[in-house]
């Protein structure tokens, strides 16, 4: 039977994906650079493991020979994805990751031709960012094929993990981003706010540079995209302040201090079980037509593990699309409805 590699398996999300994989009867090969942690995790589930740093080319290429594809879980991906995707394409292996970083999505999109020629799929963003929102975007596009504007919003109840916080901290000071006339365009941090009606709750949303600014364009062709999320009032003030202090927060000494303070781990099982995610989206066209939809699902990390493994199982079964792909572009808007606990309604 074909198999896959989970690289960064000992991280918070990698471990969760490993645990869920075991529960589904999958037997991935675990990998990472920390021998003691990777070995201990593999021992817990009776899985095989490989230990190599991403700079150890021989170890990386040897591990790729043993599998059909990689599910890359070691982030921040702006620091780890280039080496891995390059090795995958050269080895004619598929590449999946759980990034949410716009720059990483764009770098992957630029590898479309290489991946297509190699006959492999490069699909970044198989987690909460971007599977649920990508499917919602594609659903709205299906309902309004001539849409020119797309607004998406999400609200996650729950704590964030070490890696998510590390990635966010690394990107602080880079401001916001939207897509305008097909181009990714920089805007100030917390550029716009608007009230979002998630159905069960109404909240004040603020624009953020979420992955869909990149991916929803490839999934829908809609040229104008904004993504909103909900942040506590205090954090909104800090975001606005980062417009002026961002340069300072981005300097190496300050980054070192900030990164050291981030606690390891992520939400406990209990917290994940209590958590929930809400999404809302709207597409409109130049004639003033508008469609709206909402979606609800499990907590963000639970959803990440479920969507990543759902896609991994498809690839294992030979169901993939060659080239750079987004989840909804390859598998359609209803991919998300295959995930337990997800519900979508048109407004």
Ligand X SMILES: NC(=O)c1ccc[n+]([C@@H]2O[C@H](COP(=O)([O-])OP(=O)(O)OC[C@H]3O[C@@H](n4cnc5c(N)ncnc54)[C@H](OP(=O)(O)O)[C@@H]3O)[C@@H](O)[C@H]2O)c1
Binding of residue 297 to ligand X (CB under 6 A): no
Give the SS3 label for residue 260: helix
198: alpha, beta or left? (left if phi > 0; alpha if psi -120 to 50): alpha
Give the SS3 label for residue 64: helix
User: Using CA atoms, how far apart are residues 338 and 11, in angstroms rounded to an integer?
Assistant: 26
| Shortest distance, position 133 Cβ to ligand X, whole Å | 10
**Residue from 67, 87, 95, 100 binding ligand X (CB under 6 A):** 100
Which residue shows structure tokens 């990472």?
32
Binding of residue 258 to ligand X (CB under 6 A): no
**Residue from 19, 27, 33, 192 binding ligand X (CB under 6 A):** 33
Our CB check for ligand X shows the closer of 48 and 346 to be 48
| Shortest distance, position 244 Cβ to ligand X, whole Å | 25
State the binding string over 116-145 for ligand X (x if CB under 6 A, else -).
Answer: ---------x-xxx----------------
Which residue shows structure tokens 């020979």?
65
Contact 280, 198 (CB under 8 A): yes
Selected range binding ligand X among 6-14, 200-208, 238-246, 271-279, rule: CB under 6 A? 6-14
Contact 176, 209 (CB under 8 A): yes
Contact 280, 292 (CB under 8 A): yes
| Shortest distance, position 74 Cβ to ligand X, whole Å | 3
**Residue from 19, 162, 192, 240 binding ligand X (CB under 6 A):** 162
State the binding string over 163-202 for ligand X (x if CB under 6 A, else -).
Answer: xx-xx-----------------------------------
User: Using CA atoms, how far apart are residues 230 and 217, in angstroms rounded to an integer?
Assistant: 22
Cα dist. 34→40, 99, 156, 278, 331 in Å?
10, 21, 31, 35, 34
- Say which residues have a Cβ less than 8 Å from residue 156's Cβ, sequence separation at least 6: 128, 229, 275, 276, 277, 278, 299, 300
Binding of residue 12 to ligand X (CB under 6 A): yes
Our CB check for ligand X shows the closer of 163 and 323 to be 163
Give the SS3 label for residue 294: strand
Selected range binding ligand X among 30-38, 190-198, 201-209, 319-327, rule: CB under 6 A? 30-38
Residues 66-85 that bind ligand X (CB under 6 A): 73-77, 79-80
| Shortest distance, position 34 Cβ to ligand X, whole Å | 4
What is the CB-side half-sphere exposure of residue 70 using CA atoms within 13 A? 32
Compute the C-alpha angle 52/325/78, nearest 5°: 45
Binding of residue 267 to ligand X (CB under 6 A): no
Selected range binding ligand X among 5-13, 103-111, 212-220, 226-234, rule: CB under 6 A? 5-13
**Binding residues for ligand X, total number by CB under 6 A:** 33
**Residue from 91, 224, 304, 325 binding ligand X (CB under 6 A):** 304
Which residue shows structure tokens 């954090």?
235
- Other Cβ atoms less than 10 A from the Cβ of 307: the count is 28
Our CB check for ligand X shows the closer of 147 and 311 to be 311
The H or E element containing residue 105 is helix 102-109
Binding of residue 54 to ligand X (CB under 6 A): yes
- 276-284/29-32 β-pairing: unpaired
For 322, which DSSP code?
A: S
Selected range binding ligand X among 10-18, 103-111, 194-202, 242-250, rule: CB under 6 A? 10-18
Q: Write out the residues near ligand X by the rule CB under 6 A.
A: 8, 10-14, 32-34, 37, 54, 73-77, 79-80, 98, 100, 125, 127-129, 161-164, 166-167, 266, 301, 304
């Amino acid at each position: 039977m074909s198999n896959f590699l989970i690289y960064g398996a000992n991280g918070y999300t990698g471990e969760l994906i490993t645990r869920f994989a075991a529960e589904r009867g999958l037997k991935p090969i675990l990998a990472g650079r920390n021998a003691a942690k990777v070995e201990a995790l593999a021992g817990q589930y009776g899985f095989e493991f490989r230990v190599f740093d991403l700079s150890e080319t021989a170890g990386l290429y040897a591990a790729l020979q043993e599998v059909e594809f990689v599910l890359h879980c070691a982030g921040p991906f702006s620091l780890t994805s280039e080496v891995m995707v390059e090795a995958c394409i050269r080895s004619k292996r598929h590449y999946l990751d759980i990034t949410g970083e716009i720059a990483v999505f764009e770098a992957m999109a630029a590898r479309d031709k290489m991946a297509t020629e190699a006959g492999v799929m490069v699909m970044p963003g198989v987690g909460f960012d971007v599977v649920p929102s990508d499917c919602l975007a594609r659903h709205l596009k299906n309902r309004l094929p001539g849409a020119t504007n797309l607004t998406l919003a999400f609200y996650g109840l729950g704590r964030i993990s070490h890696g998510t916080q590390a990635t966010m901290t690394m990107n602080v000071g880079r401001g916001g981003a939207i897509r305008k006339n097909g181009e990714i365009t920089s805007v100030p941090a917390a550029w716009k706010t608007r009230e979002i009606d998630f159905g069960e709750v109404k909240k004040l949303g603020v624009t953020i540079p979420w992955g869909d600014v990149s991916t929803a364009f490839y999934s829908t062709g809609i040229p104008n995209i904004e993504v909103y999320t909900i942040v506590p009032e205090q954090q909104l003030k800090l975001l606005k302040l980062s417009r002026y202090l961002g340069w300072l927060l981005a300097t190496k000494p300050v980054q070192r201090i900030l990164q050291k303070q981030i606690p390891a781990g992520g939400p406990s099982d209990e917290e994940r079980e209590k958590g929930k995610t809400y999404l809302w989206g709207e597409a409109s066209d130049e004639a003033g037509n508008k469609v709206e939809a909402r979606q609800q699902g499990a907590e963000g990390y639970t959803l990440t593990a479920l969507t990543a493994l759902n896609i991994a199982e498809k690839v294992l079964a030979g169901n993939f699309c060659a080239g750079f792909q987004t989840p909804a572009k390859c598998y359609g808007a209803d991919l998300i409805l295959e995930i337990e606990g997800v519900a979508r309604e048109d407004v």
